[in-house]
Each structure stands twice: as structure tokens, then as C-alpha cells.
Structure 1
Amino acid sequence: MEPYFSEVLWIVVLGFIVSFIVAFGVGANDVANSFATSVGSGVLTFRQACYLASVFECAGAILIGYKVSDTIRKGILEVSIYEGNEEQLMLGMLAALIGSAVWLLVATYFKLPVSATHSVVGATVGFGLVAHGGKGIQYMQLVTIVVSWVVSPLLSGAITVALFLLIHFLILRANNPFKAGLIALPIIYGIAIFINVLSITFDGSKLLKMDNLDLWMIFTISTVAAVVVAIIAQLFIVPWQKKKILNKTIEEGAPYKEDISVNTISTKALDIAVIQDPKKAIQAEKDVKCENNENVNKLFNYLQILSAIFSSFAHGGNDVSNAIGPLIAIWLIYTEGTTGSASESPILLLLYGGVGIVLGCWVFGERVIETVGTNLTKITPVTGFVIENGASATVLLASKLGLPISTTHCKVGSVVFVGWTHNKTLKDKSKEPVNWLLFRNIVVSWIVTIPAAGLTSAFFMWIFSYIY
């Protein structure tokens, strides 16, 4: 096909429109992956979450989104079978966009967090079945992706639980949890920065000239960033948070002495309460421990915001591919006239997808945030922090490998695993740790996603084949 062939211009125009709708749907549905736990724990308001998403979703789309977009564009189908019939591939990608858009908007209406990755891959396979009866679908690549969908929530959940148990035993179960939290805070800041900077710089953005950095330089940059942030946390953040939290505690009528351990306070409370009522003695000890853990939760407020920012960055990098991958294929065929383009994903198209994601977040994002952040399980700043870091580590690693895993599966897996584990550590039998009925509905929506998007895409591909 000749480059800039005028007869297919309508496909390009429609592709731009529909891909923006897909990006809108990704933002409306998948924004919960980044900010649901922060909003659910009360650390951020929905509006504040949207402001942060506006910056970091776009940044992630531009800086790390190109690699996953290439996987969506080149990894699912053997595009060489469309050589000489490039118009058919363009129509197929348009059908895939429509299939993805329809399902994402339907799921968002019902407040169900579905996988945008599932949607676009299922839609791509759907038009491929109509176009060539299954020929040209790279089934091994598809199997790899499907396996990652199963592994990702389990891996993300396992990492998140490990982080939570580490914090639980080292800080929450310490004699003085608040003091232990203050000591650990700079280290936690440093580790969080190291992991995320390493993920960003390793095989990083060509736009920022990070794609050819030596390994020693990558580790040096990550280590320096971690040490600098840890020092800043020790010198400024820790004293400021300590003063703020203790002043707030005193204002609320609960005087606190940092040199007295929880056990000491609990024992005195116990001596007084035992004279009156043995049951009150137990409650007195619980109240003191609860107050200390509440102060520890406050220490994690800003860590959770930091984690949400990195999660948003990772989400923009991974999920922009769902909206822009098919559009990039359409655009490169139109501009170069061939299906075998070796060109990388254009930065402006990645930014275009990022803008669509942000708009969807502002308009309809609150619907799914309510499901993941509030209705599925109880989330605190501590559990929210580990949920976001466990899921982000999984997603960022997958993004660097060019593997389009489901951020939805990662985040929901982490929420369920930690919600259950947190409840068991509290030994609270008064309520279910997880809303299992809601979780069942979410899993059903995951199962339905691939066939729903695939059938919709196949239907539109059949129409396009008939009229074009």
C-alpha cells in the first residue's frame, strides 16, 4: 500500500476517535489500580488523586509506555500475513479498538474493575479469527500472556503479604510501634525510592537518553537517589511527622510519652482496670495498642502517596498500550505503507493516550475506586502502602520485560491477600476480612472480558469485511 493512501484516511480518523474512547475507558476503570487504596484509606481525596494522575499517568505513558505498546502492536498477531492487504489489518485494529471500548465502558457502568489488557488482547484475537480463521495468531505469545494473568495476582499478592508481615512484626508488634516506625521510616523511604528508580532507569526512556545506561550507572543513580531521600526523610520528614502526630494526639486528649513502651502503659492501665472489671482490663490494653497503631498509620500517609505516584506512573506505562497499541499500528501502516514497520511507538501518540486516560479518571474514575478502595476490604495507610508497592513492583517489572500483564489483577490480588492477612493478624472474627461476594463478581467479570471484547471485535470486523 502506498504511504498516506487517501482511501484509508477514514480508518485513521476513526481510529484516533475510538482509541481516545478506549483511553477514556482505561482511565475510568483502571485508575482504581493506582489510587483506590489511597482514597479508600482516607489519605487522598478523589480530586487530589485526579490531580496526581493527570501528571504521572501521562509521564508514565511517555517514558515507559513504548515498550508494552510494541508488544501489543507486534506480539499478538503475525502481521506479515497481512502484507499486500494492509487495509485489512487497519480495519482489524479499528475493530479491536471498538471491542475494547465497548466492554470497558460497560464494566465501568457496573463499577467492575476489569482488565483493559484482557480487553485489547481478546479484541485483537477476535478480529484475527474473522480475518484469517485463526491463522497468524501467535499462540505461544498468547499463552505466555494468559499465564501471566494467572501468575500476576498471585505473585503480587505474595509480595504484598511479605511486605505487610515484615512491617507487622518489625513495627506493629514492637513494644513501641510508633518509635519503631520513626526509626524505620527513612529506611522504608530509601528502599521504595531505590526500587522505583531502578525500574525506571533500567532499559529506560529513549526520550531521556536512559536506554543505553550501563548497569553500574543504573545502580549508582538508584542508590544515590535512595540515600538522598533517606537522609531527607531522617532530617526533615521524621521530625516533622513526629511533632505533628504527637501534637495531634495531645490535642485529642490522649497524652503520649515516647520513652514509655506500649507494654508499660498497658500494664498500668491493666492495674487500674482490674480493680473495676477484668473485661475493662483487656479493653484498656487494646485501646492503648490501637492508639499506637493509629499513630503508625499516620506515619505511612505520605509513604502511601509516594507509592500511589509510582503506581500511577507504572499504570500509565503499562496501560497506555491498551488504548494506543492498535492505533499505532494503524498510524504506521498509513504513514509507511507496510505492516512490517520497525518504527517505535511515536511519543505524541503515547501522550495522546495518556490524556485520554486522565480525562476518563476525572469523569468516571470514582465508580471503580469505590469498589476496590472501599467495598472489597478495609484499607489502612499501612496496608495501602504495601498493596501499592507490591502491585507496582510486579507491574513495573512486567513493563520492563514488555509483558502486558493486568494491573487490575495485580492490585485486586494484593487487596484480597492483604485484607485477609491483616484480619487474621488482628484475630478479628466479628466480620469477614474480604467481601467475597463482590470478589466473586469481579472474577466473573474477568472471565467474561476476553470473550466479550473478542466477540464485539469479531462482529465489527465482519461488518467491515462486508462493506469494504
Structure 2
Amino acid sequence: MFSVPLLVLVLIIAIALVFDFINGFHDTANAIATSVATRVLTPGVAVLMAGILNVVGALTGTAVATTVGRGIVAPENSTQLLVVAALVSAIIWGLITWWFGIPSSSSHALIFSIVGAGVAAAGWQAIQFGGLAKTFQGLIFSPLLGFIGAFFVMIGLLWIFARAHPGLVSRLFGRLQIVSAAWMAFSHGSNDAQKTMGIITMALASYYGWTGGEWQVPLWVILMSATSMGLGTSIGGWRIIRTIGLKVVDLRPINGFAAETAAAAIIETASRLGIPVSTTHVISTAIMGVGATKRVSAVRWGIAGRIVTAWIVTIPSCILMGWIFYVLLHLLTGLK
């Protein structure tokens, strides 16, 4: 006969995989919006490629999962109710922003929902500010690096191909952008899928009573998280694809290559360092950086401002929602 804690654990795993699936279709735009906007790939082919490479990328490490799973709230302070509240908060925020076509960060929604639920469960002393500092580093520096990196990559390409025939440039980068889009999809999986691995392992730690030294991501968690994100990505979040790919700046294949290459390099580096970044932040600002090489007015700053506003609102909203859902679930179930 199943015990209540075991049933809750099974429920958490199911909810986490739903979050991962939603994260996949919410963030499909990160991987394919530019290649679809430049017509290098058809939407169907782009989505299929992104789904497969998301899975492959998710199998390449667990450094980010470790930061999320034990770097924000210590294993000894983690509870199943805390994990449920954080997941519900992050899922609802992801669906709200998806519905309105706003490319917010699913990653930061999850992390700051964990913070809110952790504070509700055990106060601010439960929060490990070293792990949270990594998140803020990604929050602050990855968008800046995305903009600056793409700007200079684009400047370099314009200098190299200044005398080349436009038709040759379009054909060349039409092929090269397929490679950059594939790398972008791979890097997206390597960073974003690990957040779900971390939250599931967090729940396992609370169930089995793991200490910091016993904490590790099981292989079956890696495989399930990778598959769930890949399936979500294969469906595609078309509302956000339109926002990122078509409304921020007009793109050509060379622009898409520059933006994707810069963004993928930043995300992949962050994944190896265990820094959870928002792939949405990075690719959005990379596209802006590419647009800024044409002229300042080439970037539709009204849309860009709407995106930045959503990023800022995500942090307090998800802390508050995580806190509220923990309190409500505690009152309804009596669990801690």
C-alpha cells in the first residue's frame, strides 16, 4: 500500500514533467524563432530539429541541476510541499506569459518560486544566497553579454563580407544558420532541462532524507526530463516565436547566424559553470544586438521594453506566488 509521502513524490514528478513540457513549448522560440523568421528552415523542420537537439543537450551534464536542486534551498530544508508549491507557481506563470505571447523566463519563474516557497516554509534563513547569487549573475550578465556578443559578431561578419556579393552571403549563411540554430537548440536543452532534473532530485532528497553529500541526479531523472522537454519543444510555442522572430527586428540569415551563435556560446558556457540562465533573455538581447548594428531605430524598442518589463515582474511575482501556494497547500493538507 502506498504511503502519503510516496504518493506526493509521484505527484511531484508528474507535475515537474508537466512544467518541463510547458517549458519546452514556451521556449521553442529560443531555438528556432530566428531560423523561421529568416525562412532558412520551415516551421515543421525547425521544431523537429529543436526537439531532438533539446534532448541531446539535456543529457550532457547536471551542474545547473545541482545549483537549482540544492543551491537555492539546502536539502535538509527541502520538503515535498515546498517543491509542489514552487512547481505550481512556475507552471501558472509560464502559462500566463505564454498566453500573452510574452517571452519571460521559465527558469527564473521556477527558481524564484522556490525562493518564495522556501521562505514560507522555513524563513529567509532557509535560502542559500550563494546559489541565488549564481542566478542573479545569470540574470544580470547573460542578457548584457547576449547583446554585446551578438553586436560584435555581427560587426565582424559585416567587415569580413563587406565586398562579397549579397546573393553569395545569403546562400552561405542560409546554410550556416542551420548549424547555429542546431547549436542554439542543443544549448537550450543543456541549461533549461536541468532545472527540472534539479527540482525532481530536490523532491527525492526530501523523501529519502538525503544530505548534501548524498545528493545526486539519478539517470532516470535525466532521461525523463530530457524527453519531456523534447516533446514540449516539438509542439512549439508559436505566439512567442512571432514575438521574438518577427516583432523585435527584421532578420536576414547572416543576422540570425550572428544572434544564435553568440547566444548559444553564452548559454553553453553558463551550463558548464552551473549557472541557470534564461535562454529567452539571451536570445532576445542577442537579436537586439544584431539589430543595433544596422541603426538604433532598427530595433523595435517598444516590444523590447515589454520583454524587459516581463523579466523584471517575474521575480517578485513568482516569489509571492510561491509563498502563497505554499501557505494555501499547508492550510489545505496540514503538511509541511
State the TM-score, normalizing by the size of structure 2.
0.94
Residue 151 (structure 1) aligned with residue 141 (structure 2): yes
Residues in 2 aligned to 1:50 and 1:325: alpha-carbon distance in whole angstroms: 25
Question: Cα deviation per residue 1:335-356 (whole Å; 9 max; x = unaligned)?
Answer: x333435342122222222222
Relative to structure 1, the CA distance from residue 341 to residue 92 in structure 2 (aligned partners, 3 Å threshold; closer, same or farther) is: farther
Q: Which runs of 5+ in 2 are unaligned?
A: none
Partner residue of 1:201? none
The 8 Å contact of residues 51 and 232 in structure 2, kept in 1 or not, is answered as: no
Q: 2:21 is aligned with what amino acid?
A: F
Residues in 2 aligned to 1:69 and 1:399: alpha-carbon distance in whole angstroms: 9
Partner residue of 1:381? 253
The 8 Å contact of residues 31 and 365 in structure 1, kept in 2 or not, is answered as: yes
Residues in 2 aligned to 1:458 and 1:13: alpha-carbon distance in whole angstroms: 22
Question: Cα deviation per residue 1:185-232 (whole Å; 9 max; x = unaligned)?
Answer: xxxxxxxxxxxxxxxxxxxxxxxxxxxxxxxxxxxxxxxxxxxxxxxx
Return 366-375 or 292-301, whichever deviates more: 292-301
Partner residue of 2:194? 321
| Alpha-carbon distance, 1:364 to partner | 4.3
Larger radius of gyration: 1
Partner residue of 1:347? 219
The 8 Å contact of residues 151 and 292 in structure 2, kept in 1 or not, is answered as: no
| Alpha-carbon distance, 1:5 to partner | 8.2
Partner residue of 1:463? 328
The 8 Å contact of residues 40 and 379 in structure 1, kept in 2 or not, is answered as: yes
Residues in 2 aligned to 1:143 and 1:435: alpha-carbon distance in whole angstroms: 31
Question: Cα deviation per residue 1:86-123 (whole Å; 9 max; x = unaligned)?
Answer: xx612101211111111111111111111112111110
Q: 1:91 is aligned with what amino acid?
A: L
Q: Percent identity?
A: 31
The 8 Å contact of residues 93 and 109 in structure 2, kept in 1 or not, is answered as: yes
Residue 76 (structure 1) aligned with residue 66 (structure 2): no
Partner residue of 1:393? 265
The 8 Å contact of residues 248 and 299 in structure 2, kept in 1 or not, is answered as: yes
Q: 2:75 is aligned with what amino acid?
A: V
Residue 98 (structure 1) aligned with residue 88 (structure 2): yes
Residue 122 (structure 1) aligned with residue 112 (structure 2): yes
The 8 Å contact of residues 113 and 368 in structure 1, kept in 2 or not, is answered as: yes
Residues in 1 aligned to 2:35 and 2:245: alpha-carbon distance in whole angstroms: 8
Residues in 2 aligned to 1:405 and 1:363: alpha-carbon distance in whole angstroms: 23
Residues in 1 aligned to 2:110 and 2:177: alpha-carbon distance in whole angstroms: 30
Residue 452 (structure 1) aligned with residue 325 (structure 2): no
| Alpha-carbon distance, 1:392 to partner | 0.7
The 8 Å contact of residues 151 and 290 in structure 2, kept in 1 or not, is answered as: yes
Return 14-23 or 141-150, whichever deviates more: 141-150
| Alpha-carbon distance, 1:140 to partner | 3.5
Q: 1:71 is aligned with what amino acid?
A: T
SS in 1 for 2:60: helix
The 8 Å contact of residues 116 and 322 in structure 1, kept in 2 or not, is answered as: no
Q: 1:319 is aligned with what amino acid?
A: D
Counterparts in 2 of 1:167-316, with a 5 A limit?
167-171=157-161, 173-174=162-163, 177=164, 292-316=165-189
Partner residue of 1:427? none
Residues in 2 aligned to 1:107 and 1:444: alpha-carbon distance in whole angstroms: 12
Question: Cα deviation per residue 1:102-148 (whole Å; 9 max; x = unaligned)?
Answer: 11111111111111121111101001110112112112432342132
Question: Cα deviation per residue 1:220-247 (whole Å; 9 max; x = unaligned)?
Answer: xxxxxxxxxxxxxxxxxxxxxxxxxxxx
Q: Which runs of 4+ in 1 moved over 3 A?
A: none
Q: 1:317 is aligned with what amino acid?
A: S
Residues in 2 aligned to 1:62 and 1:343: alpha-carbon distance in whole angstroms: 18
Q: 1:114 is aligned with what amino acid?
A: S
Q: 2:12 is aligned with what amino acid?
A: G
Question: Cα deviation per residue 1:45-97 (whole Å; 9 max; x = unaligned)?
Answer: 11111111221101111123x121111001111333x3xxxxx6121012111
Q: 1:381 is aligned with what amino acid?
A: P
Question: Cα deviation per residue 1:356-380 (whole Å; 9 max; x = unaligned)?
Answer: 2233223342221111111111111
| Alpha-carbon distance, 1:13 to partner | 1.8
Residues in 2 aligned to 1:160 and 1:340: alpha-carbon distance in whole angstroms: 39
Relative to structure 1, the CA distance from residue 456 to residue 18 in structure 2 (aligned partners, 3 Å threshold; closer, same or farther) is: same
| Alpha-carbon distance, 1:433 to partner | 0.7
The 8 Å contact of residues 376 and 434 in structure 1, kept in 2 or not, is answered as: yes
Partner residue of 2:299? 434
Q: CA RMSD in A?
A: 1.8
Residues in 2 aligned to 1:393 and 1:137: alpha-carbon distance in whole angstroms: 30
State the TM-score, normalizing by the size of structure 1.
0.68
Q: Which runs of 5+ in 1 are unaligned?
A: 83-87, 178-291, 425-431
The 8 Å contact of residues 316 and 354 in structure 1, kept in 2 or not, is answered as: yes
Residues in 1 aligned to 2:314 and 2:225: alpha-carbon distance in whole angstroms: 21
| Alpha-carbon distance, 1:6 to partner | 2.3
Q: Give the one of 284, 287, 292 matched to 1:412.
A: 284
Number of aligned residues: 333
